[in-house]
Structure 1
Amino acid sequence: MWKFSGQIEYECLNCGHVEIVDMDFFECDCVGSQERQMGPENIYELSYRIDCNNCGSEININFTAYEYPVQSLNYVEPEVTGASTSDKPYLEHLPDLYEVQQFELARASAKEIILEVQNNPALIRNIDSRQFEEVVAELFRDKGYEVELTKRTRDGGKDIIAISKDHFGIRLKYFIECKYYGESNKVGVDVVRSLHGVKNTKDGPNKTIVATTSSFTADAVSFVEKEASSSWDISLADYDQIMEWIGSYGLTN
């Protein structure tokens, strides 16, 4: 078993403030794979967004990492805005015990993950971003929604389409975007504004929801409170809300 590890030291381009972030706080997605002579080449996107702790400027640190051959980091391509850094992640091989625990969790169904997290909330930090999407989809399914988990894309957007029916049989459509972030990596206003923008498009939803294992920046909260046309248009579900949903999973209404 392995994971991306290391610490990234970055300097804000606006004020020169220097911070260090651990790779554990980066969102990691496998965005592609292709067969080559020595097996598959897997492509990962690692992303971290934060507002500078000194001046508040937005900083985005992204890496595209190429694993080839398997368990070998062949190439890492950085893309950083708002800051500068010369650091890159590396692959760390983990102890056998951790490998067994993660092996089982990696193959668990969304329902099994939810039940485990009910007993041990810390496990929510040991799944991956796709499993988080599956967990959120299952939480809505448990409440009676028709749920569709969308295909993975590199350009973001809705991850889940959820359909409910009111007492008159009228269908209501929800678009849900999931952000599996570390505790200190808050979801910014750009994510919220982008999802909200699809509401009035053709085949758009009645409501949009951003769900995260982290929290939201002040600008993101302000956008919902002041710029969205109504509180019905968009909702923000942070870590506490997700854990509340998980806690009520399986309970009869």
Structure 2
Amino acid sequence: MDIVRESRLKRSDINDIDEMSGNKFEEYLLVLLKGRGYKVKLTPKTGDYGADLILLTNNKKIVVQAKRYKKNVGVRAVQEIVSAQKYYKADECWVITNSFFTNQAIKLASSNHVRLINRSELIDWMIKYNKSA
């Protein structure tokens, strides 16, 4: 990704994210998560086995599914990222959304050790990132 595009994405706020396409949201998360210290790569647009991004730290691999939704995210996203975790042999799996999660998704995530990052936490991350940038 070029510097100009990255700089534009960096300045996005939650209202911008609410209007983004799914692919653009994935690109935004790539920039945000790099800013949080992860090595990040996007998976292919097709055949991604349920993961949109792969994060690497010194000792962990994390698969992430990005859901830019107008409504609450349901169990299917949790099921897909659990499958992706096995496929990619990842240590953790996350679902990140600009929205919130259904109660069923929260229960399933809890029993499968899936980290759910909802709108509130995403906004917190964005605020911290924008202060540091």
Interval of TM-score (by shorter of Structure 1 and Structure 2): 0.7 to 0.9
Greater relative CO, 1 or 2 (CA 8 Å, sep 6+) = 2
Structure 2 equivalent of residue 147 of structure 1: 40
Q: Which moved more, 1:190-199 or 1:143-152?
A: 190-199
Q: Distance in 2 between matches of 1:186 and 1:154?
A: 24
Superimposed CA distance per residue, residues 166-209 of structure 1 (whole angstroms, 9 cap, x where no aligned partner) = xxxxx210100101111xx21111220221133344x4110001
Whose helix fraction is larger, Structure 1's or Structure 2's? 2
Question: C-alpha deviations, 1:7-60, integer Å up to 9, x for none?
Answer: xxxxxxxxxxxxxxxxxxxxxxxxxxxxxxxxxxxxxxxxxxxxxxxxxxxxxx
Q: Distance in 1 between matches of 2:11 and 2:36?
A: 16
Q: Does 1:214 align with 2:99?
A: yes
CA 1:111 to 1:234, structure 2 compared with 1: closer, same or farther past 3 Å?
A: farther
The amino acid of 2:39's aligned partner reads: E
Unaligned 5+ segments in structure 2 are: none
Root-mean-square deviation (Å): 2.1
Richer in strand (by share): 1
Closer, same or farther in 2 for the Cα pair 1:131/1:191, shift >3 Å? Answer: same
Structure 1 length-normalised TM: 0.47
Give the TM-score normalised by structure 2. 0.84
Q: Does the CA contact (< 8 Å) of 2:35 and 2:129 recur in 1?
A: yes
Match of 1:179 among 67, 72, 87: 67
Which whole-Å deviations, capped at 9, do the CAs of 1:210-245 have from their partners, x for residues lacking one? 0111111110001122x22xxxx3201111111111
Give matches, 1:1-253, under 5 Å.
109-117=5-13, 121-153=14-46, 157-165=50-58, 171-182=59-70, 185-201=71-87, 203-225=88-110, 227-228=111-112, 233-252=113-132
Q: How many residues matched?
A: 129
Larger radius of gyration: 1
Contact 1:212 1:238 (C-alpha < 8 Å) held by counterparts: yes
Determine what percentage of the aligned residue pairs are the same residue.
24
List alignment gaps of at least 5 residues for structure 1: 1-107, 166-170
SS in 2 for 1:109: helix
Query: Which residue identity is paired with 1:248?
Result: K
Deviation, 1:250, is 4.8
Runs of 4+ residues deviating >4 angstroms: none
CA distance in structure 2 between the partners assigned to 1:159 and 1:115 by the alignment: 22
1:145 CA displacement: 1.1
Structure 1 contact 142–250 (Cα < 8 Å) conserved: no
